[in-house]
Amino acid sequence: MIYKVFFLFLIVWSAVGQEQSFDEAQLLGKKNMALEGAEYQLLSEVIQAFEKMKKAALLVGIDIKVVSGFRSYERQRAIWNRKYKANRQAGLSPEENIQKIIEYSTLPGTSRHHWGTEIDIIDGTIESQGDVLLAEKFHEGGPYEPLHIWLEENAATFGFICAYPDQLQRTGFNYEPWHYSYAPLSRPLYRAYLDIDLKRVLTDSDLEGSSYLTKHFLDRYKTSHIMGIHPALK
């Protein structure tokens, strides 16, 4: 536990004074970036750090497998629209629909997966069945409990932090024990993202429910969801 706290401190300390400027299109997932990878894509530095973490986990029989890396704005919009249409068919009102989606999924243009620094991961040694990204599968005898325990003890030493931990003081998206962020790169991206006017950039006629994304809602969403992350990622 002492080592974990120490490495979390290093991640935060190393980012102090390293504020950078980023292309807005990059922050929104609308820019072709220099990504690497075949089955999934990430920034080069993230790939290198992940491979080191993967090798360390293999020594104890855990094969960390990425099931989702970079996602473009268009890909996130497709996910959003699919869920919105399904919820509408189930009888949810527009307001209920949006609130249901943002329990786990982000508005396109606001996903951390747009940055090439985020990974959703499972243990590849275990045959996957059904929806693999369920919190109960990472706890109390679930198939990915050993992975979860290992990540809790070791991920920070490689720069990876659980973006949406199970902490009572955190708001926004539900607990996601599978979502890890490479803090040395994602932290400055996050800081830059906070300056974006969401109402201006999220005007998209092809986005289901867009007319209900008022300035009041987006301001609240930024505070509760975008900022509702692990403190070491701020």
pLDDT tens profile 163-172: 999 987 889 9
- Using DSSP, state whether 43 is helix, strand or coil: strand
pLDDT cut 70: percent of the chain above it: 91
How far apart are alpha carbons 228 and 208 in whole angstroms?
A: 24
Work out the pLDDT band at 30, boundaries 50, 70, 90. very high
Residue 33 has what DSSP assignment? Answer: -
**Contact status, residue 123 vs residue 65, Cβ threshold 8 Å:** yes
**Contact status, residue 181 vs residue 204, Cβ threshold 8 Å:** no
What pLDDT is stored for residue 118 in this prediction?
98
Both tokens of 32, joined, read 């072709």
Residue 8 identity: L
List Cβ<8 Å contacts ≥24 apart for 190-194.
190/112, 190/229, 190/233, 190/234, 191/19, 191/234, 192/19, 192/20, 192/21, 192/22, 192/27, 193/27, 193/226, 194/222, 194/226, 194/227
Residue 147 has what DSSP assignment? Answer: H
Sorted by where each starts, the structural domains of the chain and their CATH numbers stand as 2-228 (3.30.1380.10)
**Contact status, residue 137 vs residue 127, Cβ threshold 8 Å:** no
Give the residue carrying structure tokens 């491979």: 51
Output the average pLDDT for the chain: 91
Between 14 and 37, the more confident residue is 37
Give the model confidence (pLDDT) of 65-110 as tens digits.
999 999 999 999 999 999 999 999 999 999 999 999 999 999 999 9
Give the model confidence (pLDDT) of 193-213 as tens digits.
999 999 988 888 899 999 999
Helix (H) or strand (E) holding 66: strand 64-68
